[in-house]
Every structure is written in C-alpha cells, then in structure tokens.
Amino acid sequence: MSNNTISEVVKLKRKLYVELVKMMIKENLVEEIDYLPKKMIRDDTPRYRCCEFKERAIFSERIKMALGYSTLNNKNIELHELASDLYKADNINNIVEVIEQACDSCPIDKYIVTDACRNCVAHKCLNSCPADAIVIIQNKAFIDQNKCLECGKCARECPYGAILENSRPCVRVCEVDAIKSDAKRQARINKEKCVVCGRCIVACPFGAIADKSSIVQVTDKILKKDEKTAALIAPSFVGQFGFKVSPETVKYVLLEIGFDEVIEVAEGADRVALEESREAIESLENDRILLSSCCPAFKKMIVNDFPDLKDNLSHTDSPMLTTAEKLKRYNSDINTVFIGPCTAKKEEAADSEVVDYVLTFEELIALITGFEINLEKVIERREIRDASKFGRQFAYSGGLKGVIEELSEGKIKADNAEGLAKCIKKLTNLKAGKSNFDFLEGMACKDGCIGGPGSMINPKAARKLIENFAERSNLKLK
C-alpha cells in the first residue's frame, strides 16, 4: 500500500479528474460542468455531511480547484464561467488551499480530560500544572482552556493516561507550523510559511485541503494538434502506473494520447549530479557545507526558517528545471509538463519560466483513464534511454547522497535526511556547528520522492523497481 490511503474522498477526487478529462475530449466542459455536482453526488451516493446539498456545494469547490482556480477567491462564481477560460486559472499562487465548507472546524483545545479520569488521590495533573489551569469539578479533573499553556505536563503525569493531546490532523503533520485556526475555528494556511509539501492534504480526514490541478489545461494542450507538448517524467515514475506496466509502455501511451515528446527528468538529474558534485568539492575547499537544492520544499524551508543557512544551498538548479530549460532552449514554443509525485513542484514550476504545468502521478493516471486507455492491456513499448543510473537514483532518499559520494570518489562526506522533521533536526545541529558532513541531501518526504503525496505505490516496492531500472541503463555519465 502506498503511504497515501485511498479513502472515499480520494476516490471522489480521482473520479472527478476522470470526468473532467472525458468532458474535455467530448468538448462539452462549459455546457456540462454546472450539472456535474448533481451527476456525481446523487441521493444514494455515500454521504459524509448533513445532506446531499452540502455535499454538492463542497464538490463544486473541489471542481474549481481541479480546474486550477482558487476556491477562496472565486466564491460566488459559477463553474461554467471558470471553465470557459481555462487559461485565466490562477494555478500559480496558493497551490494548497482549505475548502472552507469542507473544513469541520476540528476542536482546537489542545488537552482534554477524558472519562478515564478517576479523580485519584494523587492529583498528579493538578500538582504538575504550572498554570493552575486544572480544577476538580464533579469528581473529575477539568482544564480551564483560558489558563492552559499547552505544555502537556498533565498528560504525561496522569497515571491513567486520561488526558488526551488533541490536535488537528492537518496541524499535527505540518512541520513548518504553517496552519493556524481563524476566528471561525477553520484551518488557515499561511502561504509564506507553507512549503507545499502536501502532508496536510493527505492528513485531513474530511478532504478539506486540496491542491490545485492543471489536468484540464494539460488535456487541452495534448489534444491540440498545432501545439507541441513534452512530458517530463520524474525519476520516481517507475512502477507508479500499475503492477505490470513497464516504463517503456508508459512512454508509448504518453506519446499515443498526444504528448509529442517524453523525456526522463533523470536526464537533467545526470547533469545536476555532475554539477553538484563539482560544487561540493569546491565548497569543501572553502569550508562551506553544501545543502542539496533538488527538493523545493526543503529549499523553501531553509529560506524561511533557517535564513543563516541560505548561502549553504547549492546553486545548481533542480533536475526538473535543468531538463525543462534544455527543452525550451531548443524549442521555445514547446509546452513542458512535469509529471511527478510532488505538490511542491507545482509551486517551483509556477515560479519558473521553463515549466508550464505539473501533474502528479495520480492526476496523470486519471487523465489516461479519461482517455479510456487500460495500461495493463497495452503491449506496445517505446525505448527509454535518456539517463544514466546516477540520475535515476534521485528518486529515493539517500540516492543523491550516494551519487555525490561516488562521483567525488569518497572525498565528500555526505549525509541525508528524509521527512521535514529529520531535516529540521540536521539543520538545527548544523546551525549550532554540531554536524559532521560536507554535503546534506534533504528531502521533505519520508523515503524521498517515492513517498510523495502524489505517489501511488508502496515506497519500498517503488525503490526496488527504480534500482532495477537504474541498473538497466547503459548510458555513461559524461
């Protein structure tokens, strides 16, 4: 199983993507889109809200984000208005948004006393509280939320474990503290702090946090015969498209549905490997510890929260940008679509001149389904040989680390951190002068890109498939 559980909310989102692609192909998006909430949320569809009307209202907001539009800035606009000009979609700013109607305003009292409280004689909770926030009412401890400092001492001291730490799933997973509650107790994302890692999207059990999609824009581009569009597939793509679907079949199908070119981003990663190992050696000579720059979420977190370490960031562009830059250099008119497991890449692309659109693997598989192609039945293949084994290893944590060590012939002592929490630990130590590496590979997702929010399969299985695919490359790194 992938890290990302396929809940009913996830299924509904995927079904929506498929429907939108089908409507694009039938060229009836503008005419039909206002009817879509009613068509997809029927009286007998499983419901999670009070009534089908609220369910449909929320679904309409989901559609706006699927079209690439902000839900927050387009509150009273009808869907067909948005659908009639897809290229006004602001899929540039605020990649991740809270759908207000869907956010259940989870309780925000951090510590609560449960019925397991026995009103024991010791009263360890009461005695440990530094703020005198605990009183005994009706034979049970009670926390005065106005006084509570949220230190957690009472919860640790209670011999019955009767005091519960209660936090919103979105807040709990956000390592950069970007989610707060507004006056209506709804979650709000601080855009400046958010690194678009996508954890909150996966964590919210109400599906109230979503990322904007470019699926309809990309569908439009590949359907246009007079425009050229390239698919840039991330190193982590191997195995994401189904049990028996080979990388070569994925390439064949992408060309078949209208992409004019398919290139491995591992090709750019090859050049990043050379450039970054050269930079690492240069840095070593200048006593500068180098931090990797391929994960945009890791990079943004350093800029935001570790400004002292900003100069340690590698100046090498990410593999995505490197690959796209080369494509655009030879053909400035070509549309570039990056395909990966990542939400942060959506923001990195929006800030760049060279990447036009980003799709996650989830979105691309929905797109292929919309074209009514069953990958498991396709036997045709197209050869893929854009990259060496080095570039292909960027997909999992420790991959870049290994590449840098090998290319520097052991001169560079490299280390790696996966998941923002571990990255923060390493960076904090580095700031305090307590680190023993010359190069740090930082990845915002556990397991690296293969553990990203837009991935489809178990990271362990993905890693094995990628390792095999990397070994299969007979290209040498120039």
Partner 1 sequence: MTKKILEICIGTPCYLMGASELIEYYNNLESRIKDKIELRTSHCLEDKCEKGPVIKFDDKLYFDVTPERLSKIIRKKTQ
Q: Which residues bind partner 1 (CB under 8 A)?
A: 1-2, 5-6, 11, 14-15, 18, 241-244, 362, 365-366, 368-369, 373-377, 456-458
With beta carbons less than 8 A apart as the criterion, state whether 285 and 411 touch.
Answer: no
Q: What is the DSSP string of 170-224?
A: HHHH-TT--EEE-TTS-EEE-TTT-----HHHHH-TT--EEE---HHHHHHHHH-
C-alpha dihedral over 163, 168, 170, 171, to 10 degrees? -70
**In the complex, minimum distance from the CB of residue 1 to partner 1, in angstroms, rounded to a whole number:** 4
**In the complex, minimum distance from the CB of residue 375 to partner 1, in angstroms, rounded to a whole number:** 5
Question: Tokens 């005065």 appear where?
Answer: 144
Whichever of 241 and 390 has its CB closer to partner 1, that residue is: 241
Alpha-carbon span 442 to 397, nearest angstrom: 8
Whichever of 377 and 434 has its CB closer to partner 1, that residue is: 377
Residue 32, judged by CB atoms within 10 A of its CB (0-12, 13-18, 19+), counts as: middle
**In the complex, minimum distance from the CB of residue 38 to partner 1, in angstroms, rounded to a whole number:** 17
Residue of 211, 191, 6, 188 whose CA lies nearest to 103: 188
Two structure tokens written together for 52: 């089908």
Whichever of 267 and 363 has its CB closer to partner 1, that residue is: 363
Alpha-carbon span 40 to 62, nearest angstrom: 12
Whichever of 11 and 472 has its CB closer to partner 1, that residue is: 11
**In the complex, minimum distance from the CB of residue 2 to partner 1, in angstroms, rounded to a whole number:** 7
Alpha-carbon span 415 to 434, nearest angstrom: 13
Whichever of 239 and 391 has its CB closer to partner 1, that residue is: 239
Whichever of 236 and 473 has its CB closer to partner 1, that residue is: 236
**In the complex, minimum distance from the CB of residue 228 to partner 1, in angstroms, rounded to a whole number:** 26
SS3 342: coil
**In the complex, minimum distance from the CB of residue 376 to partner 1, in angstroms, rounded to a whole number:** 4
